[in-house]
Amino acid sequence: MVFQGVQERPPKFLWILLLYLSLPDTDALGIKMGESLVKALRDHDVFIPCTITGYSELDTTQLSVTWTITNKAATNQIVYKFLSQSHQPTRPGSYIPTSELITGNAGLHLPRVQFTDEGEYTCTVFYTPDKDEGQSALQVSVQPTGIVAPTDVVVQTGSEKSVMCEANGFYPKDITIQWVKYLNDSNCVPLNKGTCTTDPIGNKDGTFNISSHLTVTPRLDEDGDEYSCIISHRSLKKEQKLNFTLTVKEQDDKTSQVIGAVVATVVVTFIVVLAASGYVTFIKKQPPRLSPITGAEHLVHMNKGTLSCQISGYRPEPIKIVLCLKRKGAELEAICSWESEPQTDQSSKREEQSVAINFDETQHLVSYGDSHLPPAQRPLRVEMFSLIKTNKKRISNCQCTIHITPNLEEDDGAELSVWVTHRALSVPSSVSCPLKVEGVRPKLFTIVFPLRIIHGESLTLTCPINGFKPKPLSVIWIRLDLEGLETEIVSWEDGKSNIKYSRYSHCLKENIHEDYSSSFLSQLTVKPTVKEDHGVKYICRTFHYATNTGAEERMEMCVLAVPELHQIKTFPEIPCVGEEIKFSCKIHSFHPQKLEVSWYKGNEVLSTENSTTAANDNGLLSFTSRITYSPCVRDIGKKFRCEVSHLSLQNPKCVSWELKHLIHKPSVGPMECNPEILEHNQLATLSCIIKDFYPKDLSIQWYKGPEAVSCDNYTEVLQEDQTSGLFSKTTEMSFIPSINDHGTEFQLEVTAGAQVVKRTICIELKGLPQVKDIICSNLSPKYGKPLTLSCEVSGCNVRDITAEWQMGNNPITTRMRAETQTNGNSVSFLLTLTPTAEHYGKLFTCLIKHNDLKQPMKKNISLRLPDVPPTLSDITVSPKRPEANREAIFHVSISGFSAKGLQVKWLKSFIPLTANITTTEPHIGKDELYSCTSTLKYTLTDTDHNKFIRCEVTANREIKGKQFQLDLRGDETEGKQPLNAPEDNKVPLQKTVEVKEIECVTPNPRKGEVVTLQCMIKGQDVKHGDFSWSDGIFPIDESLIDNSSLTDGSGCISKVTFTPEHGKIRFETTFNFVTTERTYQLQLA
């Protein structure tokens, strides 16, 4: 029988149709329940409908669903709650699939409902900002099992017959049993007289039993009449009718008639007739008749079953009934015996010892002895009840009711027989029937697993297997991959787990119930990963041997990986007011790809830019989220937050960065002189305006030449802009110049944090010479290429002017030539030289002397000569073939460098050597650059074989090196070849590394599209180098970089494929502690 609401999941097309028909014209929240009363049977799965109308698709982030129950035990008790995209079941096993919630199906699934689940359910739905609710009542019932015994009633006229009708295991206890007699096929009359119905009797499981008896005393013309026991209960869709047919036989009258020939002997004849009639009616023995045994067709393993046998029409009353059982492979055994006298108790329960029956004239019971015997010898659980009724003619009828609890293994197919011994029988009479015992197949429920399956975290899949008996059952867990291939990973049978793969573990918990049924919880534990398990299906498959049935449940693994957030990076490190700050946060190791990133300044939402998502070898994803923001002074103390929302997170995850410091570089105006043309002994004022700086901590210092001016001699006025919060300052210094101040430089030094801004003015007095800055004939001077420095003086008599050139406060050398060139009212002083490494970083000064000036006027210039790193020759050794226990001399030439401050180190296998090292002083070579040599004297030992000697030179924080592999002869025996280092232990020799320029592989790159750049490195392979690419200030994710060695072994190549966001691309590579950088300006269409 199908009950409304009793199904695992409603067909989806019905829900779609229901939603379509219920959609209103506007988005108004509504609740549509199913029937007001949902009927269900205990231990069945129930679905209580609740449809959300008014929306074609729901956003679960705004949805809340709450189911509550009101019954005798509780009021408004929460059964299930869906809140904040989280399922929170209170009633075990209850669930609402998320996929159905999105479409508006908020119906509640309740597996294996019990009596405690009965009550009124309320579905309350909040969909921001609306609310609605609906009610449905759940009614839980258990159908009665009806039995009438006997089904064929045979009775003789003048005698009574009792028929019993039982209804067992029903709920609730309200039930009606009505006896009826059929007049014809369509008409019947109720029977109230002669009926007796007991009150319902409760069972331990909450169900009830009831019985009713009908006593009939039929006439001969009622032979063949049909009767019914009609059971009415709320769990039954139709009344249950249990029929029996009445057979009425005329009582045999075998009264012997005494024929006397002599009528005269009336008294004698009367006595004889009276005696014969009394004998036949009251004394003559009548043998019992046995009806077939009923109720043995559908017995359930370890369930109590009721069998019935009618023993009728016998006289006298004393009778003996023996219940016998013949199992497969065993002899017929007596298992229960009952006698109507001398016992007064009409029921006899079997003792622990069973009995064997001897079908000779003597009956007796034989004990089995030990109970630990094979199945065929174990006793059957049995109870026998007999009810005897005797009429006025002393004819007796016995209703024999047998309760047995069969075991499928022992009793299926066995033969049960009832043997009756009576005085009218020369041998016992019997009737038998085969026992058909069935098992109960298992019921599998949906595999239980956490709401979120997280990458790398231990996960337990639980498959409930309930209500089966007998116990033998096998369980197999199977992995179904994306290609449809099944792989057995765990099998369980007879208490043992066979685990095929070490990443899995298995546990099975058993529980045996009062009705001898078993329940299993099969638990598979694994640490899922995105790469191996996402999208894979896991199947729990069972086979029940007793019922020869298999079943399975499956689930699909949706593996989530929780995103990890790096700390927020900013550029520049010290932000400036009004200038863009670039924020970046790398988000990595997440899955699936759908991820929302939001940036906030306090509670203000900022616009976000995200890079292309990339996957690593484990299937985990990563990308970098960026924002650009221009701060103002009022933003100090504000927190900038990167917030991530993902399916793997119940709440968003975030990192924050606080803006603690902010600067704005001062805008320092030019120094102004008032008056513009100065005369000696007249007041002059120098001033400068410094605008738009922050913070206000800004210091000012005036200098006259090299000497600092006392703060008492100048003024400072500070002002704040109330709108922008920036500061401004005006400073002035007044003085009276003398003739000796001509050509003096006045300098203003403004210090704001780590920034120092200088403004300089050279005062010139009216009537005195004016000196211009020194000019170099070559703006990009090179070593070995001649150049000329020129300093022009005007505004005076050229005969009153002389000049002297200096280099680093020292007179010029013979390799330099000074000249004087006169041009009308001006004169130029020239210095011609050929730059060498000695001139690197040196200051050239032109001292101008005038007759009226006590101190010469100075003009300085520094040549912009390039910094050239040193070049190292290969290391040479003497002797060429070094030997153990002898001194060897290692020599290297260092040439072509511009800075003297070299550091030379010698090492043996990365261990520094300090003794016996000689490095010559640098001298100028033919290329006009410095050269020197370094020598190491070292006595080798046997243990130095295959080690290496290395020379490292550091110049301007750049390290270059050469190394020499040692192959010693002194540790060899005579006549053997020199030893060679094994290939795996060889130390790679120093190679010359040449880093080529960056090339763009993608033709005509466009903005927003993927671009591939590459850089080739000659002289080294990938194993010995480090590589990195940057897009502007932001490093490019390593997953987008491909480094590989060239097939010819000549070098390697580094490629990057990405979507550029800035034009300037930087590539860095490091070999042998030396880092080389290349840049590329990407032009996007």
* Architecture in CATH for domain 455-496+514-559: Sandwich (2.60)
Q: Give the integer Cα–Cα distance in Å for 386 and 739.
A: 149
pLDDT at 258 over 80: no
If one looks up domain 12-141 in CATH, what number appears?
Answer: 2.60.40.10
Rounded Cα–Cα distance for residues 442 and 750 (Å): 89
User: Does the pLDDT of residue 353 top 70, yes or no?
Assistant: no
* Between residues 1025 and 133, the one the model is more confident about: 133
Residue written as token pair 């046995």: 290
Mean per-residue pLDDT for 1017-1027? 85
CATH of domain 669-762: 2.60.40.10
Fold of 143-250: Immunoglobulin-like (2.60.40)
345 pLDDT exceeds 90? no
Average pLDDT over residues 572-597: 90
Predicted local distance difference test score (pLDDT) of residue 262? 53
CA distance 153 to 880: 126
Write down the architecture of domain 994-1081 according to CATH. Answer: Sandwich (2.60)
Q: Which class is 564-658 in CATH?
A: mainly beta
Q: Is the pLDDT of residue 210 over 60?
A: yes
Would the pLDDT of 1071 be above 90?
no
What pLDDT, in 10s, does the model give residues 659-668? 998 889 899 9
Band (174; pLDDT cuts 50, 70, 90)? very high
The whole-number average pLDDT for the span 201-230 is 88
* Confidence band of 485 (pLDDT split at 50, 70, 90): very high
At residue 809, the pLDDT reads 81
pLDDT tens digit sequence for 838-863:
888 888 999 888 887 888 888 888 88
End-to-end CA distance of the chain: 74
pLDDT band at 691 (very low <50, low <70, confident <90, very high): very high
Which is the CATH superfamily of the domain at 287-438?
Immunoglobulins (2.60.40.10)
Per-residue confidence band for 1056, with pLDDT thresholds at 50, 70 and 90 = very high
Which pLDDT tens digit goes with each residue over 82-132? 987 889 898 888 999 988 888 889 999 999 999 889 999 999 998 887 889
Look at residue 479 in the predicted model and tell me its pLDDT. Answer: 95
Two tokens, residue 368: 């089995």
pLDDT, one tens digit per residue, over 505-526 is 999 999 988 888 899 999 999 9
pLDDT of residue 100: 87
2, 86, 99, 235, 904 from 240: Cα distances, Å: 16, 46, 42, 11, 108
More confident residue, 54 or 357: 54
The CATH number of 871-970 is: 2.60.40.10
pLDDT at 344 over 60: no
Task: Quick: pLDDT tens for 30-39.
Answer: 898 888 899 9
Contacts of 416 (CB under 8 A, 6+ apart): 293, 296, 307, 323, 324, 325, 402, 404, 432, 433, 434, 435
Residue 268: what pLDDT?
Answer: 63
pLDDT, tens digit (0-9, with 9 covering 90-100), for 441-480: 999 999 999 989 999 999 999 999 998 999 899 999 999 9
Instruction: Please name the amino acid found at residue 571.
Output: F
Among the listed residues 280, 319, 322, the one whose alpha carbon sits nearest the alpha carbon of residue 397: 319
Question: Per-residue pLDDT averaged across 610-619, rounded?
Answer: 85
Using the predicted structure, report yes or no on whether residue 909 has a pLDDT greater than 90: no
DSSP string for residues in 709-759 = PPGGGEEEEEEE-TTT--EEEEEEEEE---GGGTTPEEEEEEEETTEEEEE
Look at the pTM and tell me if it is higher than 0.75.
no
Give which of 754, 817, 829, 767 is closest to 795, Cα–Cα.
767
Q: What is the mean pLDDT of the chain?
A: 84
- The 10s digit of each residue's pLDDT in 952-988 is 998 877 788 888 888 886 544 333 333 333 333 333 4
Amino acid at 262: V
Q: Would you say 414 and 389 are in contact if contact means Cβ atoms under 8 Å apart?
A: no
pLDDT for position 978? 33
State residue 269's pLDDT score: 64
Q: Is 256 helix (H, G, I), strand (E, B) or coil?
A: coil
Is pLDDT above 80 for 352? no
b/e code 685-703 from CB counts within 10 Å (16+ = b)? ebbbbbbebbbeebebbbe
pLDDT at 66: 93
Percent of the chain residues topping a pLDDT of 70: 89
Side chain identity at 284, as an amino acid letter? K
Instruction: Over range 420-438, report the average pLDDT.
Output: 90
The whole-angstrom separation of Cα 705 and Cα 693 is 27
| d(C-alpha 503, C-alpha 526), whole Å | 6
At 12 the pLDDT is: 45
DSSP code of residue 279: I
Q: Which helix (H) or strand (E) holds 15?
A: helix 12-22
Mean pLDDT of 594-608: 92
Give residue limits of the domains in the chain.
Answer: 12-141, 143-250, 287-438, 455-496+514-559, 564-658, 669-762, 770-862, 871-970, 994-1081
Chain centroid to CA 254: how far? 92
Say what the pLDDT of residue 1073 is.
Answer: 66
- Fold entry, domain 770-862: Immunoglobulin-like (2.60.40)
Distance CA 159, CA 395 (A): 8
| Helix (H), strand (E) at residue 468 | strand 459-468
Output the DSSP codes for 123-179.
EEEEETTEEEEEEEEEEEEB--EEEEE-SEEEEETT--EEEEEEEEEEBSS--EEEE
Cα angle: 919, vertex 925, 930; to 5 degrees: 50
Identical topology for domains 12-141 and 287-438: yes
pLDDT digits (tens, 9 = 90+) for 734-786: 999 888 888 888 999 999 887 889 999 888 888 788 888 899 988 889 999 99
Q: What distance lies between CA 560 and its chain's CA centroid?
A: 3
Share of the chain above pLDDT 90, in %: 39
- pLDDT category of residue 670 using cuts at 50, 70 and 90: very high
**pLDDT-derived band of residue 482, with 50, 70 and 90 as boundaries?**
very high
Q: Are 418 and 386 in contact (CB under 8 A)?
A: no
Structure tokens at 302: 């370890």
Q: What average pLDDT score do residues 206-226 get?
A: 88
